[in-house]
Amino acid sequence: MEKEPKEKIAIEKERSEFKKLILENPNYFGTIPDYKIKPVKPMKANTKYEELRCIGFYPENDILEAIVEIKLPYGYSGNLCTDGSFEYVRFFVDWNGDGDFIDPDDDVGIVSLNVHDIPDTEKVCLDKNKPLSYALTLKINSKKHICVNPYLVKVRAILSWNTPPPPGNPNYSPVWGNVLDGWIQIKPAKFFLKDIITVVDLQKLKIDQEMLELDLDISKTKELTLTELKDIYKDKDVPELRFNSKELINIAESVKLDPTLMAKYKLEPKFSKMMEYIDLILSEKPNTKYEELRCVGLNYDLDQFVATLTVKLPYGYNGNLCTKGSDEYVAFWGYIWDQVEQVCYWKYFGTTSVKVYDIANIPPEGLQYAVYLPVDLSSYKDLCSKHKVMKIRAILSWNTPPPDNNPNYNPVWGNKVDALIQIKPGKPIEDGAQIPFISVVGAMAVESISGNQHTVLSSALGEGYANGPSVYGGFFALESSFGGVVTICGHISNPPNDPEDIDKLRYKVQYRKSGESSWHDITNTFRIWISTWNGVSWSIEHKDQVATEGYYKYEEDLAPPTQRFVEGNILAQWHTPVPEGDGLYEIRVLLYKLGALPTPGVPSDHISSNVVKIMIDNTRPQAEITLDAGPCEFTTSGVTITGKFKATDKHFWQYSISLLPYGPSTNDNFKHYPIPALEYIYGQVPSYPALPSSGVTNGTFILHTKGMKPCGYVLYLHVWDRTIVNNYMQGNQNSASVGFCLMKKE
């Protein structure tokens, strides 16, 4: 039950009218020093309402994580039944180690979180109401080094409430929010057979050249023996309790079961030192000298528990990057109300892990790692009028998984952290009910696509357009349509636990053009990657999803002890364009369920997901560029060349004009232009929304040729629209060109 405030909460104007104030004066808070308008109330990095607490990295899948705490029950622009507001996090990676984060590829993208006013409630299974911990996830494309050369890079994350940190500006000072730096370790490059052997080599060996297509990993890592570890650590102040912890913990567990063994071991002189370690294990005092769990949260859009941890020392992790190293295990628990027993209890959700290694050049601040665990929270969701908050616990244990039956376990190496999470609203699902649900389409959360249920980012253009940061992708959609291969992601609640292949759920994914009655099956084959946890270790394998009679098999199994996760939650990949052409489409997932209750518009024996609307646009823009003097004009260096250009598209984004071959002008008057010696009459930022949303964009250009070498040149006009193509906002593209020749003066 929500508590009614005793008096009306007073929220400062700087918060409640934030957008209005910065629209009137972008430098209202003094965070844009280059802006020539005097600030009204200087303020930056205010963390009263929200704070970026931790960042981490999961090297195996190139995933950056940020944990943000929401501290107060108000100040977020409305409750869960409103649009609320957004927390934005932009990540920067200093790839070359120059310390500035300003190189072109250092800005790796932006992610966001939809936040709301969550009132304090009666503390059922809770010991407090705030803060609420959320995780924001970004998948990046990291550069790889070989294992003998550890690649450590610095990461910067900027949290900003209700206004996105601008791209390419790592020194941006948010008004509400903060900045956090940390070091991460990039996974080493793997070597495959095709990297070291050629077709000619295979012919000499009389081996089929198709072997090169098998991607055989030849960079297998070695697990060091106890003898090798003793030798490595003899001068490193790493005790046997560390590098031989597995065996010692097993002995300690035996002693717990049979206490008489303790006396027996202590009578043996050769076991005297070992028994000191056993005493330490049995004392159950967690040690965080080598690693420490720092933050825990929930990825709101992906239903994933996330934890971040710090690895502190250069040694003590069972080998360097060229070995198997060791594992940091994290087990997750939720404190749940049992309606039948009328008590709170800890429910085990599963265990995950991340590989760690000895890295001699570890920075003093340590290295930041992250783990994540997909979870099925469908049984705990409720309508937006009934917010759901859950207490969760994460237990970190180095090299030995925490037991799945002890939420109070004190690890030998590691620690535990509790946090509060807020579960994303949704249609309540009965215990055990199997319901399909689409959560992400084309790398955009359904709530960020206009015209859909619970849309929070509407569009002035109509239904089916995406706005805001993507899920995982790092790009920012601007009234964007979709095209190319559109990935459809989601879940089916309560799948069977550890089913045989014949018992796996069967589902189909369908589309239809808006206004049509007939649905069409999506039946193309696509590849998924499945991570499997067997209770002790992880493995990952790929599978080609092949439609049989229009149905795919559902591969996820989120219930312990054996868990299977489909990376990215992919349900289908829809290849567009389709014969029906561009336009507004609807997508749905149908789960085959014999005896399902009849539903209008749904085939018998089927359960339908939510229906998602998206706008498809695979039409490339039109581009034209001409010289006023005509094409292939011969002229002399030093003259001014003029011309016209035109770009046409329904969803216009941006254009650029480039000159080849490149060559800087010797005239300093032109150095401030986007391209040396090239002047755009319509300004220096030719992109939407400064340019029209659709239709025709045309203009003129002036090229000053003074100082340019005699040569043949080509002017290129490149045009992009705002379509999310292949799940990334690269846009449909087209180009046009015109040439001219500069001659030497007579």
* 564, burial (CB in 10 Å: exposed 0-12, middle 13-18, buried 19+): middle
* Residues 363 and 442 both lie in one domain: no
Strand 132-139 versus strand 291-299 pairing type: parallel
In 140-176, at which residue ranges do the beta strands (DSSP E only) sit?
Answer: 152-161
User: What pLDDT is stored for residue 139 in this prediction?
Assistant: 94
Within-domain flag for 193: no
User: What pLDDT is stored for residue 677 in this prediction?
Assistant: 39
* Residues 29 and 116 both lie in one domain: yes
Residue 420: name the closest of 390, 376, 382 by CA: 390
Cross-strand pairs, 330? 352, 396
Summarised one tens digit per residue, pLDDT across range 626-668 is: 998 888 778 787 788 888 888 889 998 888 887 888 654 433 3
The domain boundary residue, chosen from 282, 305, 325: 282
Is the bond preceding 577 in cis, omega lying within 30 degrees of 0? yes
Residue 389: name the closest of 185, 120, 608, 153 by CA: 120
Please state the separation of Cα 234 from the chain's center in Å.
41
Neighbours of 513 (CB within 10 A): 17
Residue 29: pLDDT over 70: yes
- Mean pLDDT, residues 685-697: 68
The domain boundary residue, chosen from 267, 282, 297: 282
* Residues 231 and 83 both lie in one domain: no
Within-domain flag for 219: no
User: What pLDDT is stored for residue 193 in this prediction?
Assistant: 54
User: What pLDDT is stored for residue 643 in this prediction?
Assistant: 86
Residue 67: name the closest of 131, 134, 132, 116 by CA: 134
* Backbone φ and ψ of 351, nearest 5°: -130, 145
Q: E strand or H helix at 21, and its extent?
A: helix 18-24
Whole-angstrom Cα distance, residue 233 to residue 174? 45
User: Mean pLDDT across the chain, nearest whole number?
Assistant: 88
668 DSSP assignment: G
Within-domain flag for 220: no
* Residues 34 and 165 both lie in one domain: yes
Within-domain flag for 297: yes
* Residues 316 and 367 both lie in one domain: yes
Within-domain flag for 172: yes
* Residues 702 and 726 both lie in one domain: yes
* Residues 337 and 322 both lie in one domain: yes
Within-domain flag for 81: yes
Higher pLDDT, 547 or 658: 547
Residue 617: name the closest of 658, 664, 585 by CA: 585
User: What pLDDT is stored for residue 215 in this prediction?
Assistant: 52
- Mean pLDDT, residues 179-208: 73
User: What pLDDT is stored for residue 681 in this prediction?
Assistant: 39
- Mean pLDDT, residues 470-495: 93
Residue 111: pLDDT over 90: yes
Whole-angstrom Cα distance, residue 82 to residue 138? 26
Within-domain flag for 584: yes
CATH of the domain at 700: 2.60.40.3880
* Residues 633 and 584 both lie in one domain: no
User: What pLDDT is stored for residue 10 in this prediction?
Assistant: 83
The domain boundary residue, chosen from 616, 637, 658: 616
Whole-angstrom Cα distance, residue 176 to residue 182? 20
* Residues 373 and 452 both lie in one domain: no
User: What pLDDT is stored for residue 1 in this prediction?
Assistant: 41
- Beta-carbon contacts of 562 under 8 Å, excluding residues fewer than 6 positions away, are 498, 532, 533, 534, 535
| Token couple for 536 | 């002790």
Within-domain flag for 403: yes
Burial annotation 676-703 (CB, 10 A radius, 16+ → b, else e): bbbbbeeeeebebeebebeeebebebeb
- Beta-carbon contacts of 117 under 8 Å, excluding residues fewer than 6 positions away, are 73, 74, 75, 76, 77, 78, 79, 84
Domain membership of residue 722 as a residue range: 622-743
* Residues 602 and 662 both lie in one domain: no
Neighbours of 498 (CB within 10 A): 12
Burial annotation 7-23 (CB, 10 A radius, 16+ → b, else e): eeeebeebbeebeebbe
pTM of the model as a whole: 0.88
Residue 576: pLDDT over 60: yes
Report the domain count for the chain: 4
* Residues 522 and 602 both lie in one domain: yes
% of the chain residues with pLDDT over 90? 65
253 DSSP assignment: H
- Mean pLDDT, residues 178-189: 96
Q: E strand or H helix at 462, and its extent?
A: none
* Residues 24 and 92 both lie in one domain: yes
Decide if 286 contacts 410 (C-beta within 8 A): yes
